[in-house]
Structures are given as C-alpha cells and as structure tokens.
A and B are shown apart, each in its own frame.
Chain A
Amino acid sequence: MDFNDTPEEAAFRAEVRGWLDANATRIDPNETGSYEMFSENDGDDVVKQAQAWQAKKADAGWACITWPKEYGGRGGTIMENIIFSQEERNYHTPQNIFGIGLGMAGPTVMAHGTPEQKAKYLPSLLRGERIWCQLFSEPAAGSDLAGLTTRAERDGDDWIINGQKVWTSGAHYSKTGIIVTRSDFNAPKHKGLTYFIVDMEAEGVDVRPIKQMTGGANFNEVFFTNVRIPDADRLDEVGNGWAVSITTLMNERMSIGSGFALGPDRIFEEFNRLAQNTYVDGIPAVENHAVRAKIAELYSRMKAMELTSNRVLSSISQGKAPGTESAVIKLAMGALNQEIAAFGMELQGNLGTEHGPQSVFNNGLFQEVYLGIPAMRIAGGSDEVQRNVIAERELGIPQETRVDKGIPFKDIPSAASR
C-alpha cells in the first residue's frame, strides 16, 4: 500500500500537467462552478468544441492512453490513464460526449471485431470524428435486456433490421451505433441474439428525442424500419450477441462507476459555504449540530466512494480481475447523490426549488443534481440489478427461480402474449 506516486508516475503526472497547462485553463478552486449533469445544451457548438478538444488530445497522444498505438492510442498503462483523468478534471475542458464510444463501443470492437472492423472504425472513434451511441434497451426490455425483440433477418449480404430502441443517449448527434438484435426467435432467449455496428444515417433510422424530467432532451427513442446493415458490420458470430453485449455492459459499469462529478472536497466546500449563509430556526446552519453531523456524514461517504474507486483501479492495474467493487460504487453513488442534493435543497429553505444558474445559492448545483440523479440510479443497470450482481457474483447467492430458461424465446410469457 502506497497512496503516493512512484517516481515514474510522478514524472508522467508532471508531463501531463505541462501539456494541460499549455492547452487548457486550470479551474480556480475558489470559483463556484455550476454542475450540468444532463445538460440542456448539447447543440452543434457543444459537439464541435468537444470534437476539437478530443482531436487535440489525439494529436498529442492523450486521447486513449491504454489503446494500442496502431489505433491512435498511446500503448500506455492503466495507471497512466488514471493519472491523466485525475489531472484533466482540474481544467476547464469541453463536455465529454465520447463516453459511449471510447468507454464501451471501442473496447467491444477491440474484443470482438475483425482486423478490418478495427481498422475501419477505431481511429475515427478515438479522434471523436464519429460519435457513437448504444442501442440496447427497448420499451419492454430494460433490466431484462435479453428479452429484446428488435428483429434482424438475413437478406443476401445484408441484414434487415426492424424494431424500436429507447433511452439512447446522444443518438441525435451520433453517426454510428452499436445495436443488439434478435436473429432467431426459436432459439432460447440468450442464444438468438446478434450484435451489429449500425450507420445512424442509413435509410429507415428515425431518431426522436425524449424530453426528460430535467427539461432537457439528451436521449432518444430510435425506430428501425427495414434498415439494411451489411454483414461485414456484424460483430462476432451470428447468435453470439449476448456475449458481445456483456463485454459492452462490463465496460459500461466501469465507466459509470468511475465518474466523479462531485468529489468529496467539492461536496464539503459547497455545503460549508451554504451552511454559513443559511439558518435553522434563527441560528446559522453551520452552528447547528445536526447540520454539521449530516454534512460530515455525506463527506465521509463520498470520500469512501473515491477511495473505493482507487482500490478498483489498483486491482485492474495489477492485472487482477476486479471484484464487484464497481457495482458497489454504482449502487452507492446514486443514493448518495440523491441525499446530498436533497439536503442541500433543505438547507436552502424556501429557495430550495429555485432552478438554474441565477439561483441564490450554489449556482443551482443541488437542484441540477436532484433532477438528474434518478437517471443515474437506473441507467447502466438499476440499483436492483447491481444488488443482484453483488449477491450472485460476489457472495454466491443463487438467482431467483426463473421461468424463461431453456425454452424457445417465442414461448416465454410476456405482456404481449397475455
């Protein structure tokens, strides 16, 4: 155990800092930044700024530190990647809209793609030239993803896709998607799936934004009507789509779990400032012991989250298979942020529901978190799914008795077959 950098890590960190200082503005720790979790602004300008920053990083070799050099990566270590992310967080940088491509689609293509597919897709993905989205969930298949019914039928050298996907973040600005479909309705549930790379500009793809409870519309429903996908864009074998999906989902849990929008220090700063300026029954909140105890508790829970994430990163960098710590972080993070936001709003008294950067306190930070967080408890495996993952994979507790195993998919009961 050594929480400090090794000499090599310290040298790498200095190099990263040098480059960031030359290419971005360091965040002043005293400024009150707003926190846009599900930003309502993801128009063309945001996309262009994000792409410019990603291309700049790619040119300097920072875009995908752990990726092989042949695809534009640095061929670096996981620890170097962590150091870069830790440092980049301290600078003003454009919103990162490449998470699905870099964190999920890229690793999936690398694990399951042919050499031709890798050469064709990975370099433009890495540079941010083509933005990717993930087409997994359907109206009747969320936590039970393998229950999906989007149909893929073979037609010569092509496949014809019909069906509907939903909760597709960024589909409105994405050029490419990863999609899992059902190619065999007679096979058992998990055996009849096939996974493709899909051109989002192909004929028959219809992207419709969904307005969220935040007021923004960052995700979409996507309709596929006789969309043709060349067989060359199939990832892995026909019928092996479930295994490919698992690769994507494992990477998703890592990337959602490691996102620290509000670290422990920021939490304390925001709360401490708020408590100095608000009152409980005529007494400054910062002098109220229930308030102090609650803030200290929230800080210690967020600190635990950061330190647990460090443990996961150490496991991975030492080549050990990570346990279910990332499920732990994902599960704990949603509820913790919900409590943080609710407590911040409570301290603000009758201004607690004022929303937006003109808010009197904290630039509307807690309201933004409060409205965005329900999505975090559902996306990428809901709280309930994470609890199953922990119980079944880590603790060896069996699954609940299931009625959908070992029978053809078409015979599984559903709302439609009722």
Chain B
Amino acid sequence: MNFLFDDDQHALRDAAKKLLLNKATLDGLHKDMDGGVAYNKELWDIMSENGYQGIGIPEEFGGAGMGYLNQVVVAEELGYSFAHTPYTSSIVGAAEAILQAGSDDQKHKYLPQLASGELIGTIAYYEQSGRYDAAGIETKESGGKLTGKKMPVIDATIAGIAVVAAQGSKGLSLYIVDLKQSGVEITALKSMEMLRASSVVTLNGAEAELLGEEGKGAELLETLTSRMAIFIAFEQIGGATRCMEDARDYSLERYIFGKPLGTYQAIKHRISDMFMRNELARSNCYFGAWALESSEGDIAEAAALARSTAAEAFEFAAQENLQVHGGIGFTWAEDCHIFVKRMRHLDALIGGRLVWRERLYKILESKAA
C-alpha cells in the first residue's frame, strides 16, 4: 500500500508549478480581465510544447499516455496558478468525454488535435433550467441536427468543438458539434468569473455526430461528470492551497499593533483551519485519483467524496483569505477576488455540494441495501 504520489509525480508537479507561475502571473490575470482577453494563448502554446494537454491521453491518440495520476497533478497546479486556459473545458471536459464514449474513428480524429492543443473543445450539457439532471435538457436532435439553447457554455468563443447533450429519438444522447458552422450562434454572457469566458450557444439545426450509444446520454453524463468531478476537485484543492498560502504570506507581511498579523491566534488559527480542511479534502482527492487510475475503485463514490469536500475547502479558504486581508481584500487590485470568483465558478460547473451529496447518499444507500 502506498497512499502518496511518487517522486516522478512530484518532479512533474514542481516543473508544472514553475512554468505556470512564470507564465500565469496574477498581474497577467488582471490585465486579461480588464482587457476582456479570452485566454492566455502564449501559456496554452507553451503547455502544448511541453505536452501538458496530452499527459493523460493514451499514446495511440496522440498523448503521452502517462495516466491519470500524472494528469491530476497538472490539474492541481492549474488550479493553484489560477491559469487562464481552457484546460478544464477542453481536456477534462471534451477530450475525456470522447476518450470514454467515442468510437475508434472519433478518438483518432479528435484526440490528437485536443492533445496537441491546436483544437480547443468544450462541453455544452446544461441549459437555462439550471438543472444538472437529464430532465433539465430540452435541446432536441432530429435527423442528425440539433436545435436548442445551451448555457452557460465555457470557452465557446475559442473552442472548435463542443460535446453536447440533447434529446434524440431514443432519449438523451451525446453529440459532437462543430462550433464553427453556420447553424451555431454564440453570444457572450456576463459572468462573475471573467477568466472563463461564458456564452449562450444557440443551435439552429446544427450538424452533429453521435457520441456513444444513442439513448444512453443520462448514464454517460453521470459517468463523465464523475470523472470530471475528480479532476475539478484537484483544481479546487490547488486553488484552496493557493488561498491558504496567500493568507499566510499576507499575515506575515502585515504588521498590526507592532507585530505580524499572523502572530495573533485569531488569525493564525483561521489559517490552520484552512490547512486542515485542505489536507482532509486532498486525501479524498487522492482516493479519486486512485479510482481513476486503477479503474477498480468506485469512481462515482470517490468523485462525490472529492467533489463535495474540495468545494467546501475551497470556499472556506477563498472567503477567509479575503477576510484575513481586510479592506484591501475587497479591492479589484488585490488577488483575493480572483480566487473567490474562480471558486464559485468551479462550484457551479457540474453541480454544487447539494447535488453531489445526494449522489453520494444514493450510492451508499444502494451499497448498503
């Protein structure tokens, strides 16, 4: 038994952290936000050169085939750096969906381009009902064409394809849609998280190719969102770690009543609580990583565990980091608000804690019966 990452994975982490912090500076994020820049293309290209997008994608489909344990390390460091990239949409969302549900032809067609970063993909599952379940999806397929409205779709303005959920003749199904066709209309939405461009994607009889078995969309969505949840939990725990460190650093720099802010137990104990929550959630994330890697663990249970605890830890760390900063934390110029907004964004992406706790209860209940 070994419940820890190995030395190679730690080396990957160190390299990823160095690269990302160098290219995804917080100053840069502020500039991108103010300038309405969709993503950090320079960083995305450097990530491609270093093979980060394709780390977990099998070699036969153009990736490095290094497995999920390495891929979650990258996800965590992207979370830590708050990097302004479409990794979550393109790799965790679209590429993983095609890898799990696609035909051999589809995998050969799309995965190499996604792995190299030249093609950006995204997912368009949910709609204006705000529901995360299959019944909330009204977009319809008819004769291989989709009609309906998807929102919010992240990174739609920069993506070439989207994996879309729609009601087909045999029930809910998944499709791959080329976003650059005339039947697709993309309208920007205003989002709190300005670093993950959000849009309404209107499908007006858009051409679509079926992904996975027709009518199996609900089951596929459950599988795919579980797998996403584990990666996103790593992203969340990366972000939560950054918030804790930011609070710690500020508490050492800032003097109050003649000594560092962090020496007051009212402050230091709060930072210890951030660390505590982060480390406990991190353990559930590791369990998720192992479930993905070994494919023998219960991925759905591990995902629900990781998702609900990492979301909770990130919320606490992001909000309390801002509080530790005092007034400056509420300003646009500081980083605290970027952390808070990303935290909320990741929480909303595939369902918040209420959704995942209910999923967890159902899983445990059926195991107990």
Contacts and interface: CB of A to CB of B under 8 A. Distances in A.
Give the interface size class of chain B.
Answer: 35 or more
A314 to B, nearest CB: 4
Contacts of B293: 1
B271 interface: yes
Interface in B1-58: 1-6, 9
A307 to B, nearest CB: 4
Contact of B263 (A1, A292, A299, A400): A400
23 contacts: A1-B293, A4-B1, A79-B1, A269-B368, A292-B357, A296-B357, A299-B360, A304-B283, A304-B284, A307-B283, A310-B1, A310-B283, A328-B280, A332-B276, A387-B265, A387-B272, A391-B268, A391-B272, A395-B268, A395-B272, A396-B252, A397-B262, A400-B264
B289 interface: yes
Contacts, number: 156
A295 B4 CA distance: 28
Contacts of B353: 293, 297
Interface in B81-130: none
Given A311-B3, A315-B4, A328-B279, 20 more contacts: A1-B2, A1-B4, A2-B2, A2-B290, A3-B297, A79-B1, A272-B365, A289-B358, A292-B357, A296-B360, A300-B308, A300-B309, A304-B281, A304-B305, A310-B1, A387-B265, A388-B269, A390-B276, A391-B272, A401-B259
Contact of A303 (B3, B284, B289): B284
Nearest to B369: A272
A331 B263 CA distance: 20
A296 B361 contact: yes
A324 B271 CA distance: 14
B368 to A, nearest CB: 6
A9 interface: yes
Contact of A300 (B251, B260, B290, B360): B360
Contact of B276 (A1, A310, A313, A328): A328
B135 interface: no
Contacts of B260: 397-398
A397 B297 contact: no
Interface string B282-313: 11101101100110010000001100110000
Contacts of A350: none
Which label, helix, strand, loop or mixed, suits the secondary structure of the A interface? helix
A3 B271 contact: no
Nearest to A269: B368
A373 to B, nearest CB: 17
A397 B268 contact: yes
A288 to B, nearest CB: 11
Interface in B319-343: none
Nearest to A399: B263
B364 A272 contact: yes
A391 B324 CA distance: 15
Contacts of B361: 292-293, 295-296
A97 to B, nearest CB: 29
Contacts of B360: 296, 299-300
A312 B248 CA distance: 23
Contacts of B280: 301, 304-305, 308, 328, 332
Contact of A397 (B69, B252, B308): B252
A318 interface: yes
Nearest to B260: A398
A296 B358 contact: yes
Interface string B341-364: 000000000000110011011001
A96 B9 CA distance: 40
B209 interface: no
Contacts of A384: 265, 269
A301 B279 CA distance: 11
B4 A397 contact: no
A185 interface: no
B5 to A, nearest CB: 6
Contacts of A3: 1, 3, 287, 290, 294, 297
Contacts of B222: none
A332 B269 CA distance: 13
Contact of A1 (B5, B357, B365, B368): B5
A1 B6 contact: yes
Nearest to A294: B357
Contacts of A328: 275-276, 279-280
Contact of A388 (B69, B268, B294, B364): B268
